[in-house]
Amino acid sequence: MIEIAVLGTPVAKGRPRFAKETGHAYTPEKTRNFEAALKYAAQEVMGPRAPLDGPLIVEMKIVMPIAKSWPKKRQKAAREGIERPIKKPDWDNFAKVVDALNQVVWIDDGQVVDGRVQKFYGDKPGTWIVVKPLNPGNEGVFG
């Protein structure tokens, strides 16, 4: 099992932008910076190990910051997991940042056969990712 953490406000994959002069698509800077931080964190965890091979399960925990302007009661509900983030960014855009783990944690993200993204609020915002091989008995709900 591999566990990767990037502290700070989570960043979801941004929509591609297009250069007016050339029409070429590019990834927004905020996304590029976050993916670079995620790749670095993964390299630190992986060390000299080769990228994983075979089918994988990926679970992501996204912790968004609690707004200081919220009433105390709402902040408490957010800390307890009663109130969860239901606004943008969408969960699937968080999942897309795992492209940064190609050739580091796995050979290609096509190896991910099962994935989950959970969004929470918390006092310590960040992105936590767990990667594990698919083994008999952990196929999930539909397996």
pLDDT digits (tens, 9 = 90+) for 40-92: 999 999 999 999 999 999 999 999 999 999 999 999 999 999 999 999 999 99
For residue 92, the SS3 value is: helix
Counting the structural domains of the chain, the total is 1
Instruction: Supply the pLDDT for residue 28.
Output: 79
Instruction: Supply the pLDDT for residue 123.
Output: 97
**pTM of the predicted model as reported, rounded to 2 decimal places:** 0.88
Whose tokens are 């707004």? That residue is 67
Instruction: Supply the pLDDT for residue 97.
Output: 94
Q: How many CA atoms lie within 13 A of 79 on its CB side?
A: 11
Return the H-helix or E-strand segment holding 115.
strand 112-122
- CB 108 within 8 Å of CB 37: no
- CB 12 within 8 Å of CB 90: yes
Instruction: Supply the pLDDT for residue 18.
Output: 77
Q: Is 142 inside a domain boundary?
A: no
Domain residue limits at 33: 2-133
19-33 average pLDDT score: 80
> What's the CATH number where 107 sits?
3.30.1330.70
Q: Is 138 inside a domain boundary?
A: no
120-138 average pLDDT score: 92
